[in-house]
Structure 1
Amino acid sequence: MSLLGTLVNGLAIIVGSFLGLFWTSIPEKTKTTVMQAMGLAVAVLGIGMGLKSEQFLIVIASLALGGAVGEKIDLEDKLGRVGKWLEGRLGAKEQGTVAQGFVTATLVFVVGAMSIVGALDSGLRQDHAVLYTKALIDGFCAMLFTSALGIGVMFSAIPVMLYQGIITLFATQIDRFVPEKLMDAMIVEITGTGGIMILAIGLNVLGLTKIRVANLLPGLLFTVAIAAIVYYWSEITAAVPFI
């Protein structure tokens, strides 16, 4: 079953969030320290991913173009509105808690190499090992995030399953029209681009910045497009040396 890994990942987030609801008696100082630790870990993870890029100009161009498009359509605001709607439906007492938890958890759980590589493995090879590993990490993070940010974290399971599920279903057909070499290049550069976004999320969690990370998400699409252009241009120049 191609979607098994994605379903397990979504379930882990829900279970972790549920457990986090009972972790409310922890002192605020402890929660703050835990969140700071998570922020540091996320930032370091982002740096490691960003350094894996083999053509960093693609990452820079993708982030610039993606940021411009993201600001134009204002994805950050739209995600925030979804969170606010959930907040209203749930009758949250503290304004902003559900929205913040939903947006933060969605970005942390969705953006990253493990989401893409794991979904591709599930679709191409029916291998769910990467997503199972991601499920363990996300479940633990969901518990911590929920204890600090509230029940909004639980609803991040929906975009996670939709995002990874679409990639998985696409991957079942992708080998028909995307060369393996191009696919490898795309994954590497998406990892680099996603890593910069993960770093920004870590800095936001630490309270050092207020980067509108959601508005950078279109950069992942530009990464795919630019990587494809670079790949096919190199193929053309190799076939026609005088270009």
Structure 2
Amino acid sequence: MGLFSRISNLLGSKTAALLDEYEDPGEALDFAHEQMRDELSRVDERLTTFVTQKKRLERKRSDLETDIQKYNEDARAAVANDDEETARTLLKRKKAITEEVNTLSDQIIELESVQEELVGKRTALKNRIQTFESEKEILKAQLTAEQSVQTVDQLTTDTQGHEITDALNRVEDATETAIAREEAIEELTESGAFDDKNTLDEQIDSLSTDAEIDDEIDALRSEQRSDSDGDQTDEPDQSDKDARDQ
């Protein structure tokens, strides 16, 4: 592989073409190195912001799961006290929050998928930077020896350097998509889409879950009856006890 093909493979054709703007090949390669490291820093920053937002959604989901458990326990206590109306309201609220938890889980899965892709792109970019750093001084010496208008023209038209350019573009596209999704989810969170009480009440009123709620109340009542029957079975019959005493 020729010298300029190697440079294009390391930097990408567009970046490598910038060598034409520098009289000193060493300065050109130093500039290219700085550009690659700046790009890595931008990817790191975006990835950090992205993962932070995912953690926020995970904490929100955890809080809602705690609420679900509490509503279920309160509904069980209401049934034990023969307060069916309160139990029904609590179970409907539990159902609404469960819907929110499922939505958050779907969003988190999507974010994790993009996060995995970004980490892969970051690793590829970092590996290319390390390869460039290990060869930079050799490339400087070779460029100084071979510098000419003809070789610079060859560099700018070399077709073997698209792989790096495409890789960098894919990193940019993926990170921009991640940031856009993060901002959209943050806007929904800050606007109260997940916390608004009126919205929750509207969800409760619109749920067609009467049959499910009836089933849950019946199950809780059966649980109460089973506990009561068990207590009675444990006590010996008084008449049998008297007969044995005689």
TM-score by length of 2: 0.28
Q: Which has the larger radius of gyration?
A: 2
Larger helix percent = 2
